[in-house]
Structure 1
């Protein structure tokens, strides 16, 4: 209970000075006895008790280097920018535009300078424009590329197929070399046809491999580069009817994932948003003396589709079943992505019945066997698929306008159901009428799924 006495009426007790200390023995000091009195004056600057006069803490050193990053709203790039800017690196981030949640976030981070524009420009149809002028305005946005690398010492580059990916990749590498970039980290992927002539190339990945080979050719000229190969994104899963990683909600509240992967062959998994950033930052800190010319298989879990579904089921608290089958395309998808999916389905048909014939995800079994030990040596605090399904998947689903996570699941959760294979691997007819107007990355009319824009979905 508060006192009824006002504060001004309370007597102020004077501070009691402690009695002088009487030493039993002389101080162990190299000072002569007659100088003991002067010792207090020597130590006086260190005995101040006033907080206002206290010496300030020594500032921690912060990185002063500039890092160039492209496609900065993509999952890989955004993950890295968040971490690098937080520890003091100066990031120069290219964005195609400022639309979307991630682009807004990146542009507001400290230590980040945003350059807005396309890396590859295309002329627009015009009645007054001549073919010569259209040709001149189509191609690499060299001014933007030069500005991106001006004064930069480091780079993390993940190209996408927006524009001519090979031309963009080569132009970025050339500009980095001209600017004197000290360490160039490029996100690549395999060309399966080079590993095995009977395997088809995946168009979007073979472009990355072509760029990687070009970057390697610049090593003799002084460009020191490291090549990052990323596993399957945990973040790819969605209950929207997107192809390949649709975690389709069933009438009973459970989920079904259909894909062409053999149910028992392990695949590399990665939470791109959570773990790419810290891993790449460690590559940057280690420097080219340790990593120049090397490939890094970045994946933290090796799980078969059955094991992945079991982990997902533990996370969402509902049964999750796997069905080996064709890739269903039930929504409009970006140009070029359909060819990628068709080639991927053909690639994994080799191991449809015999798991020993399924091609390694990274195209090289020995390279893939480095997972997850090599990734863990870079960053140990990874987020696994179960944790992603529990903590992040419902939030991403809500951001995409879905509400299943707010409804009680009435079914029974049984260990036998988790990961169970549904049906076979025969082709089925896709129903295109149910979801007319849904566009991958854009939702209906491009606005209903802001968290799934194309840059983020495919990068």
Structure 2
């Protein structure tokens, strides 16, 4: 008789954690515990209605408090929030890993990111990427020191397809009724890896189902790899509206003060234009675990229209 395994999910009300919760709820091998700073929020209430156990826990809690919140968990999905804690993210991430180990967690799945500073040999620093990689290195060391009891695996998020609906939506040109998509993705550089971030959940599910196979693995998620003009062409095909692409160089984007975090985003695109979002990391694993949507499929599923 198979024992149902409890998986605790950090960031369960966010895009990554929410996708993990959704995928795991469909798998009878797992029970889900959502870790959230506010168990009384509307999103927490919805999770409870789905049969999810909701426990108060925040990244900034003490190691002991996090350990208590993880008690009884077989596995953990951990995503940290740079934009909430900035330079403290690394220490909080280490605390979460230490707490998981102390709580007897067997499999720790961490949402890391490409080490842009390391790959570019110090030329391009992107803190919200590089700090997650620092946490990844720490988790790897914990697994090495506790190899018989503590497995770790790592998923890397792509550019969110959702951002092309919210952060970079095509803008209508009043003069002729066409639309323009503007991003710092260089048409002459590397294509951009993008994905429906909700599908991360199915990759995490696959990792948790086969811990030995994915022990120590780095699994980037990429449903499509496209240049800016190709993204515009797909928008045109799906919506029936003419969408043109406008490249704004990272050096210009960096100085757009009306864009929140424009400097970090510019550095991220500077890296991606030169090396691709994942450098030379193998992208073939995730599609073998779960069929990932193309950008065209994503737009169709979301019934995207341009008005």
Give TM class, smaller chain.
Answer: 0.7 to 0.9
Is this contact kept in 2: 1:315–1:387, CA < 8 A?
A: no
Q: What residue ranges of structure 2 are gaps of 5+ in the alignment?
A: none
Q: Quick one: distance in 2 between partners of 1:63 and 1:305?
A: 47
Shift of 1:285: 0.6
Q: Is the 8 A contact 1:78 1:106 kept in 2?
A: no
- Mapped to 1, the partners of 2:128 and 2:298 lie a distance apart of 26
User: Contact 2:59–2:96 at 8 Å: present in 1 too?
Assistant: no
1:142 Cα offset (Å): 3.7
Residue 87 of structure 1, aligned match among 8, 22, 27: 27
What is the CA-CA distance between 1:91 and the residue it aligns to? 1.1
- The offset of 1:82, in angstroms, is 0.8
Q: How many residues align?
A: 294
Counterpart selection for 2:77 from 151, 156, 166: 156
- CA deviations over 1:342-397 (Å, ceiling 9, x no partner): 4335546xx5xxxxxx12211x22x1xx33x32211112x2221122223164xxx
What does the per-residue CA deviation read over 1:249-287, in whole Å, with 9 as the maximum and x for residues that have no partner? 3325443221222214322121111x2111211111111
The answer on 1:374 being equivalent to 2:301 is no
SS of equivalent to 2:287? helix
- Does the 8 Å CA contact 2:62/2:95 hold for their aligned counterparts? no
Which residue does 2:277 correspond to in 1?
361
The 5 Å alignment of 1:350-429 reads: 358-362=274-278, 364-365=279-280, 367=281, 370-371=282-283, 373-380=284-291, 382-392=292-302, 394=304
Q: Name the Cα RMSD after superposition.
A: 2.5
5+ residue gaps in structure 1? 1-60, 121-139, 352-357, 395-403, 408-459
Establish whether residue 166 from structure 1 lines up as the match of residue 90 from structure 2.
yes
Matches for 1:26-425 after TM superposition, within 5 Å? 64-88=4-28, 89-97=30-38, 102-110=43-51, 112-120=52-60, 140-161=61-82, 162-163=84-85, 164-222=88-146, 223-238=150-165, 242=167, 245-251=168-174, 252-264=176-188, 265-273=190-198, 275-287=199-211, 289-325=212-248, 326-327=252-253, 329=256, 331=258, 333=260, 337-347=261-271, 358-362=274-278, 364-365=279-280, 367=281, 370-371=282-283, 373-380=284-291, 382-392=292-302, 394=304
CA contact (8 A) 1:69 1:91 kept: yes
**Displaced runs of 4 or more, over 4 A:** 98-104, 328-332
Q: 1:250 and 1:96, CA in 2 relative to 1: closer, same or farther beyond 3 A?
A: farther
Higher strand share: 2
Q: Secondary structure at 1:186's aligned position in 2?
A: strand
Alignment partner of 1:150: what SS? coil
**Given that residues 234 and 295 in structure 2 are in contact (C-alpha distance below 8 angstroms), is that contact kept between their aligned partners in structure 1?**
yes
Measured in 1, the distance between the counterparts of 2:110 and 2:275 equals 23
**Secondary structure of residue in 1 paired with 2:73:** coil
| Contact map agreement 2:159 2:194 (CA 8 A) in 1 | yes
The 1:103/1:385 distance shift into structure 2, 3 A limit, reads farther
| Cα 1:105–1:256 shift into 2, 3 Å | farther
Distance 2:302 2:47 in 1: 19
